[in-house]
Structure 1
Amino acid sequence: MRRSWTARLSVLGRPLISTRWLVCHKRYTTMTASEAREAAKPGKLHGRAFYESIGSPKYIVAPMVDQSEFAWRMLTRSYMADSEQSKLLAYTPMLHARLFSQEEKYRRGHFQAVRPDASEPWLDGNASMDRPLFVQFCANDPDALLAAARHVAPYCDAVDLNLGCPQGIARKGHYGAFLQEDQDLIFRLINKLHRELSIPVTAKIRILETREKTLAYAQNVLKAGASILTVHGRRREQKGHLTGLADWETLKWLRDSLPPETVMFANGNILQEGDVEKCLEATGVDGVMSAEGNLSDPAIFAKPPPPGEEGREYWRGKDGKGGWRVDGMTRRYLDIIHRYALGEEPPQRRPLFMPGDDTAWLAADDAEGEGDEPARKRRKKDGPPRKEEANPNLSAMQPHLFHLLRHFVTRHTDVRDMLARGRKDGIDGYERVLEAVERRVAEGLLEYERTGGESFEAELRALEDSTPAAATESNGAGAGDETESQKADTVPEAESSRGTIRRCKRPWWVAQPIVRPLPSEALAKGAITLSKKNKAAVAAGASSRDLGSQKGGDDDGKEGAPHKAEAAAAAAATNTTTTHENGATAQQVETEAEAEGRKEELASRDELVAG
């Protein structure tokens, strides 16, 4: 094979590949696209032919660590009309290739295609209800990736390589977005599956610092044999307070720069159902992937019912805006858990409440609640705790419900506390959460009708009257000093998340997205601070390009000096220091508590990359 790169050894002995080939990507000619297609296994479809064979889906449930498991995929599919079912593609949660290939216990706990000690189809990849399905792996060893992929090949339509995870655990494990400097390894990972796996391979990447580098990256992935390319419109550094907006313009440019037969999905900025079509139109891609938007609203890909046909699960306000009710979503979700994860019929339930229905059950619950005794002390149970077989559908319930009920539990903190105990109490605890949710939603609907919608209009007015407030914490500044957040200009509307919040705002009983502050807002509030060098650059009115170049960054082709807040946010994205309450910097906190933080991160991912 002909290769054109320069290599050096790191202190750990791992070869690090420079990005020189990215600039002169035409020299990287290990395999042409046509050669890659011919190298595929006989009879295996590739590229657009494969995409069309699975129904040309344009709605995609993203791969999410411990969060896109079978039950959640089923919940998302349940909102799609029969005529739209073929347009929905789902990914499994990200799986660790080495662990999956070596440990049977890990496979049983994360992928349930067949029942234990049986061969008939069960949940994951069941052709009667869970297709099309792609299984995603993180990996840095081609042989381990192939071994893992062969385990799932009979039960899915394609295997996807994760090249987009930006978290610290991915840096430590050397996978996800932290492989993007090692383009040779990326090529070998994909090409190994393309040549030797019986089903197609796909990949999910993030954009790089420049469009040209991103294009070369995409071409390398496609030349290696990827049938479908998913591109997240954010860079690896865009996470946490620096998440910001995905770059649809770069995705559009990339789509136009690749061959027309390339199948490409876009990821980023999908908060509501209407954003899906906007992204398709703006980028020209074949499909749109949603991650966090889907967690907040599993019906994000479903068309809302016409006015007058809402039924009991969809709510529409007096202003015509609406959404799916969280009590109905929670009920659907628990019914799926009962039926599939637990293998039992769901409990008999009363119809979801609508104004005009009998309210005797609410009065009965009130009387029962007034007569309740104070909570009793918990008794210590005899014997060792019961150890149950790991079930990805059950372990994901609590985080799913916290996402789905995020706006609900902000108001009803008693339900939040019930949900916090849900994992320990099991399915019975989650059923009690559902009962409380249904009751609170009924009360909210009655209040809305009683006030003629004023109960929600008051919230909207309060939102309109609110203004971004500068943080008041001094972060260690002297009594006479002015903090960075106090010096920051008021964030302009164009650079604020307030407009998005107003657009997405619904009553708390309706599923709705979580809108994150933009980097400029985080900077104004003091959540992030600039280095001295970038403070001086912002004061001088430096452009995004100038600030980015201080850390070796490249501009995006736009000229002109941006507003100070925009420049500051750009600087923050390249060189930031998070300030904590005690005045310590993020680097200091990381040094002092690195081991503990890593343990928590591992636990939060269900020991996904343990060992």
Structure 2
Amino acid sequence: MATPTTEAPAAGHETQTKPKLHGRAFYESIGSPKYILAPMVDQSEFAWRMLSRSYIPASEQSNLLAYTPMFHARLFNDTDHYRQGHFQAVRPATDPKSPPTPWLDGNPSIDRPLFVQFCANDPDALLGAALKAAPHCDAIDLNLGCPQGIAKKGHYGAFLQEDQELIFKLINTLHKNLPIPVTAKIRVLETKEATLAYARNVLAAGASIITVHGRRREQKGHLTGLADWGIIRWLREQLPPGTVMFANGNVLQHGDLQRVLDATGADGVMSAEGNLSDPAIFGRPPEPGSEVEKREYWRGKDGKGGYRVDAVMRRYMDILHRYAAGVEPPARRPLFVPGDDEAWMEEFDRAAAEEDEPERKKRKKDGPRPAKKDRTANPNYSAMQPHMFHLLRHFVSKHTDVRDLLARARAGDLEAYENILSKVERKVADGILEYERTGGKMFDEPKAAEGEEEEELVEDGESSKAAIKRCQRPWWVVQPIIRPLPKEAMAKGAVSLSKKDKAKLKEANGGEEANGDAGPAAAAAVEAEERKETEEKKETEEKEKSVQEKVLETDDKLIAG
């Protein structure tokens, strides 16, 4: 389906008239990407997209579609400071008369295909924001999946799903007035029939692509659980054959991408948390014998492999130097592999010992830090620390000194992060040497005793053990963060049930109270929750008056994920 229109031009390019494509025709025009980097609040910014794209061969770049972080539509439309601090599409103009020059976000030569995502509940504000972003992206996406409390307060994201009329109006307004397509990302509802009606409403409003997250709004934190691929497959079969659909959920490793596509029949598969832990998740392992395979990729004696954390961190830092700071990265020695000269390790240890002095003396030696304005105005700098904690999650559980350095590092302080990188490289070298020295025994799991059968693990909704075993790598290799499944979290007392969930569990147990299969810990959690609710109710009543007097604008000041 194509409608003639004047498309908003990319910055620096002349306006050209060409058809506005819709649905599958549009999807094919951007290369029919199979892999999709999810919109993540303050976490799918330009530098991270570039890092993720760097693991895809140049000839296959169109196979990866990326989304921006979720932007607040009204703030993006009304506030120059907000827009410039989150979306750097054109270079700051030195001459007001000169035409704008493409810079980072949506740059046609390096950051496409790209969808810009907004949260909104006002069609006019959404349209205003979308028109400002349209010249620098391929489509505008409406966030209908954010399940966090801030979305509930601001009445957007997944908390619009009860207002299907408003959802239709938001999407239809963009469909009728934008020069580029509109898409939407939703979560499944309580029943597959309700979800189907929801999807049909989104498509009828004019969405060219629909992304379905196979979890309900309530599935977050300890209650995240597994996404339901079955309902996505069912939707695929019920919706018109030409519908372009992306599936989201349960992607831990590269191999899961094809599993999702096969199970759901979706056109593409989206990854969020899996990508944060391993930005190379969309790329194939490097060619055997290549320098990348030798220096950046680690493979164990069991054949399992993954990119080294020091290698990924280096790539990320180089991107920040080159694009965010606008300078060439520092010269670097090749990453260490067994057989290399180890003299640098001794030199590093001596230098580290000399630095072991009072903090005040060390501070005098520090180089200049970026001005606070520069640090806070650059979205690529503000995302550094959370990205590093995701990348190094398993690493810092062993090396707490690096964790402490990360906790103190300031946004945009590239010198501090280079220091952290050097320590990571040194510790990775030790880890690899120890692995080689012990023949892998320092990491291998203990085998079952003679005569005992090894437990057969199955990946289901009951236990995360099989997923952990499949994904686990040494601490110097990027790997996913696997949450306990809800039943496991309940057994550990890490989560308690809401009144609604208690009633459901009681019904499922044939009228029995919520203990039994849920375990004693769950029963205790229920009792604790009831006491907590009584105490909180009293406290809330005392504070309610003062709270009501405040003007709550958190939905305008914060962005939730």
| Match status 1:584 vs 2:532 | yes
1:331 paired residue among 306, 310, 314? 314
RMSD: 3.8
Is contact 1:201-1:225 (8 Å) kept?
yes
Paired-residue identity, %: 66
| Match status 1:57 vs 2:40 | no
The 3 A distance-change label for structure 1 pair 355 and 461 is: farther
Is contact 1:527-1:578 (8 Å) kept?
no
Aligned to 1:528: 495
The 3 A distance-change label for structure 1 pair 459 and 586 is: farther
| Match status 1:353 vs 2:353 | no
Give how far 1:607 is off.
3.6
Amino acid of the structure 1 residue aligned with 2:172: N
2:52 paired residue among 64, 68, 76? 76
Amino acid of the structure 2 residue aligned with 1:184: E
- Measured in 2, the distance between the counterparts of 1:376 and 1:424 equals 20
- Measured in 1, the distance between the counterparts of 2:203 and 2:500 equals 40
The 3 A distance-change label for structure 1 pair 81 and 587 is: farther
Aligned to 2:558: 608
Amino acid of the structure 2 residue aligned with 1:447: E
The 3 A distance-change label for structure 1 pair 331 and 531 is: closer
Aligned to 1:553: none
Is contact 2:3-2:20 (8 Å) kept?
no
Is contact 1:183-1:220 (8 Å) kept?
yes
Is contact 2:67-2:116 (8 Å) kept?
yes
Is contact 1:40-1:195 (8 Å) kept?
no
2:153 paired residue among 148, 172, 185? 172
- Measured in 1, the distance between the counterparts of 2:124 and 2:393 equals 41
- Measured in 2, the distance between the counterparts of 1:57 and 1:98 equals 30
| Match status 1:387 vs 2:373 | yes
Is the partner of 2:294 in helix, strand or coil? Answer: coil
The 3 A distance-change label for structure 1 pair 539 and 143 is: closer
Aligned to 2:14: none
| Match status 1:207 vs 2:183 | no
1:318 paired residue among 291, 301, 310? 301
Aligned to 1:131: 112
- Measured in 2, the distance between the counterparts of 1:330 and 1:445 equals 17
Give how far 1:296 is off.
0.3
Give how far 1:609 is off.
4.8
Is contact 1:150-1:197 (8 Å) kept?
yes
| Match status 1:564 vs 2:540 | no
| Match status 1:412 vs 2:420 | no
- Measured in 1, the distance between the counterparts of 2:242 and 2:220 equals 32
Aligned to 1:510: 477
Amino acid of the structure 1 residue aligned with 2:464: S
Is the partner of 2:306 in helix, strand or coil? Answer: strand
Amino acid of the structure 1 residue aligned with 2:517: K
Give how far 1:377 is off.
3.2
- Measured in 2, the distance between the counterparts of 1:508 and 1:425 equals 26
The 3 A distance-change label for structure 1 pair 413 and 177 is: same
TM-score (normalizing by structure 2) = 0.85
Is contact 1:602-1:609 (8 Å) kept?
no
Give how far 1:231 is off.
0.5
1:110 paired residue among 83, 86, 92? 86
Alignment of 1:296-311 (within 5 A): 296-309=277-290, 310-311=293-294
Give how far 1:538 is off.
5.0
Amino acid of the structure 2 residue aligned with 1:136: Q
Amino acid of the structure 1 residue aligned with 2:46: F
Aligned to 1:341: 324
| Match status 1:434 vs 2:421 | yes
- Measured in 1, the distance between the counterparts of 2:454 and 2:414 equals 40
Give how far 1:257 is off.
0.6
Q: String of CA shifts for 1:75-121, please: whole Å, max 9, x gaps.
A: 00000122321100000000000000000000100000001126100
Give how far 1:542 is off.
2.4
Give how far 1:536 is off.
8.2
- Measured in 2, the distance between the counterparts of 1:452 and 1:92 equals 44
Is contact 1:527-1:579 (8 Å) kept?
no
- Measured in 2, the distance between the counterparts of 1:417 and 1:454 equals 29
Give how far 1:241 is off.
1.1
2:24 paired residue among 20, 35, 48? 48
Is contact 2:5-2:20 (8 Å) kept?
yes
- Measured in 2, the distance between the counterparts of 1:321 and 1:517 equals 23
Aligned to 2:97: none
Is contact 1:421-1:429 (8 Å) kept?
no
Identify the structure with bigger relative contact order (alpha carbons < 8 Å, sequence gap 6+): 2
2:387 paired residue among 384, 400, 406? 400
Amino acid of the structure 2 residue aligned with 1:608: L
Q: Which runs of no fewer than 5 residues in structure 2 stay unpaired?
A: 7-17, 95-99
Give how far 1:593 is off.
9.1
Give how far 1:406 is off.
0.4
The 3 A distance-change label for structure 1 pair 354 and 465 is: farther
Is contact 2:226-2:461 (8 Å) kept?
no
- Measured in 1, the distance between the counterparts of 2:137 and 2:300 equals 41
The 3 A distance-change label for structure 1 pair 45 and 63 is: same
Give how far 1:606 is off.
10
- Measured in 2, the distance between the counterparts of 1:606 and 1:522 equals 33
Q: Which runs of no fewer than 5 residues in structure 1 stay unpaired?
A: 1-33, 468-490, 551-562
Give how far 1:422 is off.
1.2
The 3 A distance-change label for structure 1 pair 454 and 583 is: farther
The 3 A distance-change label for structure 1 pair 391 and 579 is: farther
- Measured in 1, the distance between the counterparts of 2:528 and 2:131 equals 46
The 3 A distance-change label for structure 1 pair 509 and 299 is: same
Is the partner of 1:181 in helix, strand or coil? Answer: coil
- Measured in 1, the distance between the counterparts of 2:185 and 2:508 equals 36
- Measured in 2, the distance between the counterparts of 1:46 and 1:448 equals 53
Is the partner of 2:341 in helix, strand or coil? Answer: coil
Is contact 2:232-2:264 (8 Å) kept?
yes
The 3 A distance-change label for structure 1 pair 46 and 156 is: same
Give how far 1:534 is off.
6.5
Is the partner of 2:359 in helix, strand or coil? Answer: coil
| Match status 1:96 vs 2:96 | no
